A and B are shown apart, each in its own frame.
Chain A
């Protein structure tokens, strides 16, 4: 069964606008971690933000914030004030109690000048 679902294969956003990338997950583990990674054309996986399942507040890292809705099992990434350099693939991932990662299929974000 698919553990991580990203329903948006491609997204466009105007420069300086905010964009939300969707991610839903499926697990019965009480403890898990949710991650977002950015993968530019170079291929490197760049860690953006982390949310623990027991964290009460939504994680934020600069222009990135994670909209964590535990009951809905969603962990959407919000990028504020988009920049041209934000154009890349974005992967949502979940780490289970066995410390194994499960990745979504990714969303290709294009920032339009």
Chain B
């Protein structure tokens, strides 16, 4: 099956710093990628839809200046958490939609801890 990778798989950073998370589709092209956030024992909440070559679409309540998304190529989208705070600690999952067969595949997730 199609593979989506995320890097890093986990990261610990200090409050006030920025963290970049990468989402890559390894064997297919993805014009659209999705970023989710999952707090402990809760469901996945869509944060934003990342479109290759254009601006991301953010869900209501998600600060676009805090969660910067860049989708510069058909296989890579990045999420940068700027000026991270402890409340940003969460599990971040991306998914990528195959441009040819329109299926979505999830990455393994990135666990962010802000101290």
Please tell me if A81 contacts chain B, counting CB pairs below 8 Å.
no
User: A99 and B43: CB pair below 8 A?
Assistant: no
Chain B 1-12, CB-CB to A under 8 Å as 1, else 0, gives 100000000000
Interface size on A, residues (CB 8 A): 15
Residues A99 and B97 in contact, CB atoms below 8 Å apart: yes
Contact A99-B102, Cβ < 8 Å, known A43-B91, A43-B111, A44-B108: yes
- Contact in complex: B109, A103 (CB < 8 Å): no
Collect the chain A residues with CB atoms within 8 Å of residue B93's CB: 43, 45
A-B contact count (CB 8 A): 38
Contact residues in A for B43 (Cβ distance below 8 Å): 91, 103-106
Instruction: Answer whether residue A101 sits at the interface, using C-beta atoms and an 8 A cutoff.
Output: yes
Taken residue by residue from 71 to 113, chain A's Cβ proximity to chain B (1 for < 8 Å, 0 otherwise) reads as 0000000000000000000010001000111011110000000
Instruction: Compute how far the CA of A42 lies from the CA of B108 in the bound complex, rounded to whole angstroms.
Output: 8
Verify if B54 is at the interface (C-beta below 8 Å from A): no
B contact residues around A100 at 8 Å (CB): 46, 49
A42: which B residues are within 8 A, CB to CB?
108
On chain B, the residues within 8 Å of A101 by CB distance are 34, 44, 46, 95, 104
- 4 A-B pairs besides A99-B32, A99-B102 with CB distance below 8 A are A43-B109, A44-B109, A45-B109, A91-B43
A–B Cβ pairs within 8 angstroms, 6 of them: A43-B93, A44-B106, A44-B109, A99-B32, A101-B34, A101-B104
